[in-house]
Amino acid sequence: MAEVDHVLLSVWAAVLLVGLVMVYSASVALSDGDPRYTNYHSYSFVLRHAMALGLGALAALVAFQMPMAAWQRLTPWLMGLSLVLLVLVLMPFISKINGAQRWLPLGFFNFQPSELAKLSVALYAAHYMVRKMDVKERFSRAVLPMAAVLALIGLLLLAEPDMGAFLVIVVIAMGVLFLGGVNARVFVLLGLLLLLAFVAMIWFSDWRRERIFAYLNPWDPQYALGRGYQLSHALIALGRGGLWGVGLGASVEKLHWLPEAHTDFLLSVIGEEFGLLGVWLVIAAHFWMARRVLHIGRQAIALERVFAGLAAQGVGLWLGFQAFINVGVNLGALPTKGLTLPFMSYGGSALLMTMIAMAMVLRVDHENRHMMRGGRA
């Protein structure tokens, strides 16, 4: 551990600990009066989050010990496992939660295969570009096979439905293709095709169109108690926080007003309790981590370690873009999506996979530093 980025490690640890505190603050009142949580107590969610944090730390330690060459060998198997789990979660015997079929019950916690798919796509896209370096100027051979994989994953995710995860996966894959050197004209063509696909998905889906309309005017009586309810209360929470906030634990919106305050809308509770300053600090921490991860990836590519570099950059795109979407949703700048704030929101699967991904990036940085000191990766 002497040859790793200790500043990145420290910021990451601080974000994880702040997330643990805020999950407790946002969930402490859920068991008091909410019929869905009658068998829970004030510490249920924070204890589960702490258990996921501990499990994630153990998994991260294991992931850090794996050389990037081993990750490269495992990439096809991880992608295959992701596809199998995405199919399995759609089986009729898997029950729905909040109207969506996204989780596999494992007894002690529910696993979300789409989170594994994000890591798998980041690795697979890097692996794919390493294999296609000689044909990256040709659309049919450089892009179409990857597009077919994305289409398959997209069909499975939209069947859950989970458009937010699919959007993140598309950004990861396209970002790695672009950074890997795919011809710009080919990249623009693929981007236009994907944009048309997303517009079509919204246009031909009534409930997605209603979500867009609710986002445009959440205060409209037609949406205030329906599709716009969550967003309007998130904005009320941020408005109550002002510049300095009302103080840790003093949020009112988390008292059964703001739905999913401990998961997708944790940032609104942070804004209410710590004000604009707290929101700025959270945004700055995530921006800095994503930027640093991308820099580690560029450094690996400069050392001619293309797979490791592109994989790290894929993780940076994943963490940065998902944080961007979550912040935008909480601030009312983007339509509501079911995406958590990386490293902070409650959720075992998301926390576990992002911690493994960050440990992999630290491994890339470790190997970079070792090589620059004259050693081998």
Mean pLDDT score across all residues of the chain? 85
CA distance 91 to 103: 11
Q: What integer pLDDT is reported at residue 33 of this predicted model?
A: 64
The upper half-sphere exposure of residue 17, i.e. CA atoms within 13 Å in the direction of its Cβ, equals: 6
The upper half-sphere exposure of residue 207, i.e. CA atoms within 13 Å in the direction of its Cβ, equals: 7
Rg (the chain; Cα; Å): 21
Q: Per-residue b/e over 209-227, b at no fewer than 16 CB within 10 Å?
A: eebeebbeebeeeebbeeb
Q: pLDDT tier at 100 (50, 70, 90 boundaries)?
A: low
Q: pLDDT tier at 178 (50, 70, 90 boundaries)?
A: confident
Residue type, 134: D
CA distance 291 to 294: 5
Q: pLDDT tier at 95 (50, 70, 90 boundaries)?
A: low
**359 or 34, which is more confident?**
359
Q: What are the DSSP E strand ranges found in the chain?
A: 104-105, 110-111
Whose structure tokens read 């998961």? 263
Average pLDDT estimate for 39-55: 87
Q: Which of 37-41, 154-158, 322-326, 371-375 has the highest mean pLDDT?
A: 322-326
> What would the pLDDT profile of 251-282 be if each residue is shown by its tens digit?
898 888 888 888 889 999 999 999 999 999 99
Q: What integer pLDDT is reported at residue 1 of this predicted model?
A: 56
**116 or 201, which is more confident?**
116
Domain ranges of the chain: 6-372
Average pLDDT estimate for 167-172: 90
Q: What are the DSSP E strand ranges found in 61-147?
A: 104-105, 110-111
Average pLDDT estimate for 225-240: 84
CA distance 282 to 222: 33
Q: What integer pLDDT is reported at residue 10 of this predicted model?
A: 94
CB 291 within 8 Å of CB 313: no
The pTM of the whole model exceeds 0.85? yes
